[in-house]
Structure 1
Amino acid sequence: ELLGPFCDITDMFSGSEYPTANLYFENVWKIDMFLKEQSHSRDKVIRDMVLNMRAKFDKYWSEYTLLFAFATILDPRCKKVFLKYCYKKLYDDEEKAIFKLSQVIAKLETLLKEYTM
C-alpha cells in the first residue's frame, strides 16, 4: 500500500520513451501529497518509514521542483492554474500557495529576461 504510488509513477515514466517535463511536476507533486497524507498514519511503523522517505524525497527533489514548475507553467494545458492548485493542496494555505507561485513566476521572469537581452 505504501509503495503503490511510487511503483505506478515509476512504471509510467519507464513506460514512456519521452516523458515530458510537465509530467514530472504533476507526479512528483502526487508523491509529495501521498507522503504528507501518510505522515499522519495511525501506524507508527508507517509514520517512521514516511519520515525517512520524506527526508530523501526532499533531498533529491527540492532542487528540481523549480525547473519542473517552469515546465508546468509553459505547458498550455496547465499554466499557472494547475501550479496554484498543487501549491494550495500541498500547503493547505491560499496565501502561502500564492506566495510560492509568485516566487516561481519571478524566477521564471528573471530567466526569460536573460534570454531577451
Structure 2
Amino acid sequence: MMGLFFSSFNYPTTNLYFRGVWKVHKVLLDTFKGPHSFLTPMVKQMQEKFNTYWVEYLLILPCAAILDPRYKLNYVQYCFTTIYCIHASIFLETILNKLSLLFNEYVKKF
C-alpha cells in the first residue's frame, strides 16, 4: 500500500513522506488497539521497528509539512492529535520551537 504510494512519484518530497509515514503510524496504532487480539504481538514488533525510525525523523518531516502550503500547521496538528492525543501539544511545541530557531538563523544571515 505505502510502497505503491511512494513509488508513484519520480521524486517524492519530504512533505509527502510525512503524510505516508503518518498513515502507517495510524494504521499500526489502530490495529494494535483493534478487536483482533491475535494481531497484537505482530503489530507490537512492527511498532517497535517503526518507532526506531520515527524518532529520527520526528522533527524534520513535520517541519517540511508545515512549510508546504497544502498542509500547513493545522494538518500536522491533526495528525499528531490522532497519534498522541493529549500529548500532541508537547510534540507540536517542540516542532514550532525548532522552526522558530531555523527562521531566526535565516534572518541573521539576511
Asked whether the equivalents of residues 25 and 65 of structure 1 are also in contact (C-alpha less than 8 Å), the reply is: no
Residue 16 of structure 1 deviates from its aligned partner by: 1.0
Answer 1 or 2: which has greater helix percent.
Answer: 2
Q: Per-residue displacement from partner, 1:11-51 (whole Å, max 9, x unpaired)?
A: 11112101121111111111111111111244443100001
* Structure 2, unpaired ranges of 5+: none
State the match for 2:47 in structure 1.
54
Greater relative CO, 1 or 2 (CA 8 Å, sep 6+): 2
1:110 correspondence with 2:96: no
Identity over the aligned pairs, expressed in percent?
37
1:91 correspondence with 2:87: no
Q: How many residues align?
A: 108
Cα-Cα RMSD: 1.4
Taking the aligned partners of 1:112 and 1:92, their CA distance within structure 2 comes to 28
- In structure 2, the residue corresponding to 1:34 is in which secondary structure? helix
State the match for 2:25 in structure 1.
32
Q: Per-residue displacement from partner, 1:57-82 (whole Å, max 9, x unpaired)?
A: 00012111211111111001111100
Name the TM-score, length of structure 2 as normaliser. 0.88
Name the TM-score, length of structure 1 as normaliser. 0.84
Residue 55 of structure 1 deviates from its aligned partner by: 0.6
* Structure 1, unpaired ranges of 5+: 1-7
